[in-house]
């Protein structure tokens, strides 16, 4: 029997590569499309010899062509760490706008269902806490983070337009800070930065006074939530994240403790428009997807740390 096919854009990235694993294990044929802007071949090396896996080296912001049928499209291509999107503002806006339009057009042509990777950043520096999906957000469109936030907001808007106007089957995952193996050591996000600093006994660089909060989700939970959303009948945005909230200062201290490091914390300037607090309200995911995270942060940190220990000593 011919297997059903899924296209995963950003398939060589951190989350995308875990999605490839999941779809292959569910018995799909997987096409990963990636231009390796922030992704790494190493993330999918273990899949390269599998007959049901194919990597297409392509920029999804340019016209996308796929032969044959497609059952699902998972649009995950985009720089995702603040350092990456500050370095690559135009590519970030292109992949969120043109890249999304290309994926939606492809979905329409193939009669495929499409899920887009949105983000908690669409809430900006939120004025309500925790964040529910019906909150419209507090975003500075012309600030440095605006390139990412507004690209993702456009992505949501155009996805709903295809749903309403063309009747396309669409799903929108609002992903909160996710962590796990295959994050890049040097992508500038708090978690890989703190772990690599701690493992090298270097000072941990906390921005501001560290009182800002985040809520970290282990990647296996995220993948499960996203997979459930894809198979659901729910076309509106759904927060996928772990509501376990922590200040960045406490998070730094936790990493020092878990790694047994001699590192100290140093305080640097807070980047512009850095959100002060972030925590998902996951009532909708619980109700519509019967989903909630299985792993707490410390449980997720164990396999993550093992991965980083190996990377640091390589």
**Given the rule CB under 6 A, which residues bind ligand UDP?**
81-82, 177, 189-190, 193, 205-207, 212, 214, 248, 271, 274
Minimum separation from the CB atom of position 126 to ligand UDP (A): 12
Binding partner of residue 215 among ligand UDP, ligand NAD, none, CB cut-off 5 to 8 Å per kind: none
Contact status, residue 97 vs residue 155, Cβ threshold 8 Å? yes
User: Cα–Cα distances in Å, from 186 out to 57, 76, 195, 197, 241?
Assistant: 23, 20, 10, 10, 23
Binding partner of residue 206 among ligand NAD, ligand UDP, none, CB cut-off 5 to 8 Å per kind: ligand UDP
Taking the least distance from each CB to ligand UDP, the nearer of 70 and 248 is: 248
295 carries an active-site annotation: no
Taking the least distance from each CB to ligand NAD, the nearer of 162 and 216 is: 216
Binding partner of residue 193 among ligand UDP, ligand NAD, none, CB cut-off 5 to 8 Å per kind: ligand UDP
Binding partner of residue 180 among ligand UDP, ligand NAD, none, CB cut-off 5 to 8 Å per kind: none
Contact status, residue 60 vs residue 99, Cβ threshold 8 Å? yes
Taking the least distance from each CB to ligand UDP, the nearer of 66 and 83 is: 83
Minimum separation from the CB atom of position 250 to ligand UDP (A): 12
User: Cα–Cα distances in Å, from 156 out to 137, 194, 237?
Assistant: 13, 32, 8
For residues 120 and 122, what is the distance between their CA atoms, to the nearest angstrom? 5
Q: Which two tokens stand for residue 181?
A: 């193996």
Strands 213-215 and 245-247: antiparallel
- Reduced to 3 states (helix: H, G, I; strand: E, B; else coil), residue 53 is strand
- Contact positions toward ligand NAD, by CB under 6 A? 9-10, 12-16, 33-39, 59-61, 76-80, 95, 99, 117, 119, 175, 177-178
For residues 195 and 212, what is the distance between their CA atoms, to the nearest angstrom? 19
Taking the least distance from each CB to ligand UDP, the nearer of 155 and 193 is: 193
Minimum separation from the CB atom of position 230 to ligand NAD (A): 14
Q: Centre a 10 Å sphere on the Cβ of residue 108 and count the other Cβ atoms it contains.
A: 14
Q: Which residues are catalytic?
A: 148
């Amino acid at each position: 029997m011919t297997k059903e096919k899924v296209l995963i854009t950003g398939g060589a990235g951190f989350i995308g590569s875990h999605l490839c694993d999941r779809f292959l294990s569910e018995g799909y044929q997987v096409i990963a499309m990636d231009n390796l802007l922030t992704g790494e071949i190493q993330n999918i090396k273990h899949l390269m010899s599998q007959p049901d896996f194919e990597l297409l080296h392509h920029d999804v912001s340019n016209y996308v062509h796929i032969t044959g049928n497609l059952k699902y499209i998972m649009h995950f291509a985009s720089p995702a760490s603040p350092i990456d999107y500050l370095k690559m503002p135009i590519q970030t806006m292109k992949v969120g706008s043109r890249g999304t339009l290309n994926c939606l057009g492809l979905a329409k042509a193939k009669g495929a269902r499409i899920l887009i990777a949105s983000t908690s950043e669409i809430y900006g520096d939120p004025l309500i806490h925790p964040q529910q999906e019906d909150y419209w957000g507090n975003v500075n469109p012309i600030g440095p983070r605006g390139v990412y936030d507004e690209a993702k907001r456009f992505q949501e808007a155009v996805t709903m337009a295809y749903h309403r106007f063309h009747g396309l089957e669409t799903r929108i995952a609002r992903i909160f800070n996710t962590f796990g193996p295959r994050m890049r050591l040097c992508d500038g996000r708090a978690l890989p930065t703190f772990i690599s600093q701690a493992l090298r006994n270097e000072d941990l660089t906390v921005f501001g006074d560290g009182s800002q909060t985040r809520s970290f989700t282990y990647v296996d939970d995220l993948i499960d939530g996203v997979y459930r959303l894809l198979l659901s009948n729910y076309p509106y945005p759904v927060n996928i994240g772990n509501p376990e909230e922590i200040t960045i200062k406490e998070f730094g201290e936790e990493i020092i403790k878990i790694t047994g490091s001699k590192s100290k914390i140093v305080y640097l300037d807070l980047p512009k428009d850095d959100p002060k607090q972030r925590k998902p309200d996951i009532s909708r995911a619980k109700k519509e997807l019967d989903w909630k995270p299985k792993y707490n942060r410390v449980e997720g940190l164990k396999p993550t740390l093992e991965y980083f220990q190996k990377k640091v000593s390589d």
